[in-house]
Amino acid sequence: MTLSNPVTIKLGGDEYDLKPSLKAAQNVSNRFNGFQNAIAAVAGNDLSAVTYIVRQGVPLKQISTDDLNEAVYEAGTRNIIGDVMKYVVRLSNGGRDPDLEDGDGAEERDEGNGVEL
């Protein structure tokens, strides 16, 4: 498996890395009663959900919660939901980008099925 890099999000003139971690995954999953609900909240442009999730990925030492909330608001949730969703998906996949995983067994599943390897 290939570990992913953090998801970079642009807020105002600054870029922040949303870093996947077990703690962030647990916090997001618990807050929304599962990752699917977190994704639904983000897709619905829920400002509270988006700011909460972004806060989980950006260390407090980089920016205060009040300043981060203001930056998310000024960026506009609809402009950053793609990156926030990507982050939630990585949290739900052990911090890995599901599109970059190696050895997912695709070749084994296709073997003997008339698929040329």
* Spatial distance between the Cα atoms of 105 and 91, rounded to a whole number of angstroms: 22
* Domain assignment present for 108: no
pTM score of the predicted model: 0.82
Two structure tokens written together for 14:
């600054």
Instruction: Find the domain containing 56 and state its range.
Output: 7-98
In-domain check, residue 2: no
Query: For the segment 18-51, what is each residue's pLDDT rounded down to a tens digit?
Result: 999 999 999 999 999 999 999 999 999 999 999 9
Residue 16 counted as domain residue: yes
**Model confidence at 101: pLDDT above 50:** yes
pLDDT score recorded for residue 31: 98
Buried b (16+ CB within 10 A) or exposed e, 7-25: bebebeeeebebbbeeebb
Q: How far apart are CA 22 and CA 13, in angstroms?
A: 29
- Tell me whether residue 117 is in a domain: no
Question: Total structural domains in the chain?
Answer: 1
**Interior CA angle at 51 toward 43 and 71, to 5°?**
115
